[in-house]
Amino acid sequence: MLNAGQSCIGAKRFIIVDSVYEAFKTEFVRLMSEAKFGDPLDPQSTIGPLARTDLRDELHQQVVKSVEMGATILLGGYIPEGGAPFYPPTVLENVVAGMPAYHEELFGPIAVLFRANSEEEAIRIANDTVFGLGAGVFTSNIEKGKELAEKGLEAGCVFVNDFVKSDPRLPFGGIKESGYGRELSVVGIREFVNIKTVVVK
């Protein structure tokens, strides 16, 4: 919900193993339903508007097209009345390959829930994207989480039992269509250094 979902590292795709899927879905939808969109100056509001109306409308079309192709809306998924570009907290499930909500970034307060029958399927779904900026693993098995973060997930930043965030002490950047190179930390500073090679025989 950070910045009304308009964050490059905001979680959008939630891949949940089958054994906890229903419990996760129930609690997740409940928590999302408690978020209130409205005037950012109103203390009762927890989500402000999107940056522009055309961006909100484009986001809504991604939802509409996905639903037309078989996705299910668990929460939200409509354009509120009024002129401001608000979009309500939205949760989708039954999203499959070919749908906009599967392949495209949903740059707003929208979450897509995926059910995975196994750890291997969860990793396959997670990596089945052209993006690769950040990923998170939530597990009670820390060693397994580290293994998945290091060897399983294709992303420039992977956090175990924490949400993805930038920290000036850590290199930050993505892979695939999420860019190349790094910013922040010593690694990021070196991106701005002109390395000179001198060869003398």
Q: What is the pLDDT of residue 178?
A: 95
Give the SS3 label for residue 159: strand
Residue environment code for 29-53, b if the CB has 16+ CB neighbours within 10 A, otherwise e: beebeebebbeeeeeeebbbbbeee
Domains and CATH numbers, the chain: 2-190 (3.40.309.10)
The total number of residues shown for the chain amounts to: 201
Q: How far apart are CA 156 and CA 152, in angstroms?
A: 12
Angle CA 108–109–115, to nearest 5: 110
pLDDT tens column, 48-60 = 999 999 999 999 9
Q: What is the pLDDT of residue 58?
A: 98
- Paired with 110 in beta bridges are 90
* % of the chain residues with pLDDT over 70: 100
Give the SS3 label for residue 92: strand
> CA Rg, the chain, in Å?
19
- Mean pLDDT across 61-86: 96
**Least confident range of 79-83, 92-96, 154-158:** 79-83
Q: What confidence category does residue 83 fall into, taking pLDDT thresholds of 50, 70 and 90? A: confident
* % of the chain residues with pLDDT over 90: 94
Q: What is the pLDDT of residue 200?
A: 98
Q: Which residue has the tokens 């695939």?
A: 176
Q: How far apart are CA 134 and CA 9, in angstroms?
A: 6
Q: What is the pLDDT of residue 172?
A: 95
C-beta separation of 15 from 116 below 8 A: yes
Structural element, H or E, at residue 137? strand 134-137
User: Is the predicted pLDDT of residue 63 greater than 90, yes or no?
Assistant: yes
Which contacts qualify for 64-71: CB closer than 8 Å, 24 or more apart? 65/99, 65/100, 66/92, 66/95, 66/99, 66/100, 66/101, 66/102, 67/92, 69/96, 69/98, 69/99, 70/94, 70/96, 70/99, 71/95, 71/96, 71/99, 71/101
Which is more confidently placed, 153 or 40? 153
- Mean pLDDT across 20-43: 95
User: Is the predicted pLDDT of residue 82 greater than 90, yes or no?
Assistant: no
Q: How far apart are CA 195 and CA 201, in angstroms?
A: 20
Q: Which residue has the tokens 């002129």?
A: 83
